């Protein structure tokens, strides 16, 4: 597949660089469509491979599973947040309180418009 993609890229470049570019528009479109198809096919292949790997190693008590779960946990956590004064807050309870205050402030500053006002 890689070889076909490389050949198509070279073919597209040679068509674009040719002096009679206007005569080869149909060939150029065909080559670009084939290349797009191969890119999509390759993407599906790798998506399928990753699912197979997850099914093999994912839900068991494996190193792979723990690495994925830990990475997701680290990515989805808030380690610090700035308060209304601009100081960094790092204590988990204070982070929670500061976030609540910011949400309340933000939501109270929003103007509600009813459809009849438009």
DSSP character for 20?
T
Alpha helices by DSSP H, 1-118: 2-17, 25-57, 63-75, 92-109
pLDDT of residue 27: 82
Q: How high is the pLDDT of residue 4?
A: 83
Domain segments of the chain as ranges: 2-75, 81-117
Token pair 């807050």: residue? 89
Ordered per-residue pLDDT tens for the chain, 118 residues: 778 888 878 888 887 887 776 777 888 888 888 888 888 888 888 777 777 666 666 555 567 766 777 776 667 778 888 988 889 999 888 988 998 888 888 777 666 556 665 5
| pLDDT for res 52 | 67
User: Contact 12/38 with Cβ under 8 angstroms?
Assistant: no
Dihedral, CA of residue 66, residue 68, residue 71 and residue 75, to nearest 10: -130
DSSP state of 112: P
Strands 81-82 and 88-89: antiparallel
- Tens-place pLDDT, residues 63-92: 776 677 777 666 777 888 898 888 999 988
Q: Could you give phi then psi for residue 88, rounded to 5 degrees?
A: -80, 130
């Amino acid at each position: 597949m890689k070889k076909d993609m490389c050949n198509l890229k070279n073919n597209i470049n040679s068509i674009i660089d040719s002096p009679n570019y206007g005569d080869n528009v149909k060939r150029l479109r065909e080559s670009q469509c084939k290349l797009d198809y191969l890119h999509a096919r390759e993407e599906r292949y790798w998506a399928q491979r990753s699912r197979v790997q997850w099914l093999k190693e994912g839900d068991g008590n494996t190193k792979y599973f723990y690495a994925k779960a830990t990475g997701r946990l680290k990515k989805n956590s808030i380690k610090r947040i700035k308060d209304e004064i601009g100081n960094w807050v790092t204590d988990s309870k204070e982070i929670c309180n500061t976030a609540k205050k910011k949400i309340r402030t933000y939501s109270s500053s929003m103007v509600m418009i009813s459809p009849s006002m438009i």
